[in-house]
């Protein structure tokens, strides 16, 4: 089935008839987010794209993907567990030398191979607060050693499982003690409540973003895989991303598309590659974590 007519049909429904009413309701849900964005000094739509590199497959994929992104003017920030950084130090070190930005993603491995697939491990909600802080500090040491650059941002492993207020405060507090400027380790619901950038424990949090149609559901590669063994990214990924970007630009809605993916999930996958081409064509302003921090920090810290 040709996807273009399908996309045109979905778009026409969204902006006409029942689709227009549904679209208005969805945009209304983002009204508080839009106001918070303006208070944070965000005057346009930004793309903060990052990649979680949790398995052995991600290193080679990240290297190839980085070339493609650079050719399209899209900037990327990489979140790599310390164990993976050390295992593929040559690749990640090369990316860092070329200017790629890395955030701390903890020290322990986040996945292991079981039978026919990669399975998650190292869940902060099953660890003591002391062990979590140790892992964050160990990740800091490894990022610094492998890339030669002291990280200024942090994301937890499998962070959707570590979202209680005291858990988020622990991560933010530890990051602040390390001298970091930002974290990006909360779900879209936090962005709907507090905006695309907010101050916590002395650092700025950039919550992940969903989509206009599903604002509380994170728009990441894992959620929209139709095959989690051989990795096949579904067309819904592109449809939701295209709808979100086009709608926010049409309505001149300021915000931050804080989206992430796993390189091995999206390399050479048509929905993702088309999404990048779309954002490049529409000239969405692409920033790294540090660049976004420079944009919002003065306004956020005054609130």
Q: Out of 70-79, 109-118, 124-133, pick the least confident.
A: 109-118
pLDDT digits (tens, 9 = 90+) for 179-205: 999 999 999 999 999 999 999 999 999
Distance CA 1, CA 227 (A): 19
**13 in a domain, yes or no?**
no
Residue in the block written with tokens 């140790």: 134
**229 in a domain, yes or no?**
yes
- The strand pair at 153-154 and 182-183 is best described as parallel
pLDDT-derived band at 120, boundaries 50, 70, 90: confident
Q: What pLDDT does 3 receive?
A: 39
Residue 21 has pLDDT above 60, yes or no: no
| CATH assignment of the domain containing 76 | 3.20.20.370
Q: Which two tokens stand for residue 13?
A: 């429904």
* 117 bridge partner residues: 114
Residue in the block written with tokens 């979590």: 132
Q: What pLDDT does 131 receive?
A: 98
**139 in a domain, yes or no?**
yes
Residue in the block written with tokens 């929905």: 271
**15 in a domain, yes or no?**
no
pLDDT digits (tens, 9 = 90+) for 274-300: 999 999 999 999 999 999 999 998 888
Q: Which two tokens stand for residue 124?
A: 């902060």
Q: What pLDDT does 22 receive?
A: 56
Residue 121: how many other CB atoms lie within 10 Å: 15
Residue 302 has pLDDT above 90, yes or no: no
**14 in a domain, yes or no?**
no
**156 in a domain, yes or no?**
yes
**107 in a domain, yes or no?**
yes
Looking at residues 37-42, what average pLDDT do you find?
A: 96
Domain that holds residue 152: 3-8+22-302
Q: Which residues of 236-251 are buried (b: 16+ CB within 10 A; e: fewer)?
A: bbbbbbbbbbbbbeee
Q: What's the whole-model pTM score? A: 0.90
pLDDT digits (tens, 9 = 90+) for 253-281: 999 999 999 999 999 999 999 999 999 99
Q: Which helix (H) or strand (E) holds 183?
A: strand 182-183
Number of domains in the chain: 1
Residue 167 has pLDDT above 80, yes or no: yes
């Amino acid at each position: 089935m040709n996807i273009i007519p399908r996309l045109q049909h979905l778009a026409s429904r969204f902006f006409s008839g029942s689709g227009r009413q549904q679209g208005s309701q969805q945009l209304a849900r983002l009204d508080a987010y839009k106001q918070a964005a303006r208070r944070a000094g965000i005057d346009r739509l930004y793309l903060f794209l990052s990649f979680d590199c949790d398995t052995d497959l991600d290193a080679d994929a990240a290297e190839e993907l980085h070339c493609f992104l650079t050719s399209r003017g899209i900037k990327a920030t990489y979140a790599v567990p310390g164990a993976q950084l050390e295992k593929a130090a040559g690749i990640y070190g090369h990316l860092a030398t070329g200017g790629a930005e890395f955030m701390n993603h903890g020290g322990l491995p986040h996945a292991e191979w079981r039978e026919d697939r990669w399975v998650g491990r190292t869940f902060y909600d099953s660890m003591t607060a002391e062990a979590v802080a140790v892992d964050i500090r160990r990740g800091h040491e490894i990022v610094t050693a492998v890339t030669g650059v002291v990280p200024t941002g942090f994301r937890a492993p499998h962070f959707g499982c570590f979202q209680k207020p005291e858990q988020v405060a622990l991560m933010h507090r530890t990051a602040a003690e390390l001298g970091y400027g930002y974290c990006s380790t909360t779900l879209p619901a936090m962005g709907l409540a507090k905006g695309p950038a907010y101050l916590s424990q002395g650092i700025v949090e950039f919550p992940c973003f969903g989509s206009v149609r599903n604002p509380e559901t994170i728009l990441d590669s894992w959620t929209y895989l139709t095959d989690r063994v051989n990795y096949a990214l579904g067309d819904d990924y592109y449809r939701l991303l295209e709808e979100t970007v086009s709608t926010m630009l049409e309505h001149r809605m300021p915000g931050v598309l804080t989206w992430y993916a796993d390189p091995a999930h999206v390399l050479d996958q048509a929905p993702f590659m088309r999404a990048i081409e779309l954002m490049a064509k529409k000239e969405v302003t692409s920033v790294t974590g540090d660049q976004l921090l420079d944009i919002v920090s003065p306004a956020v810290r005054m609130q």
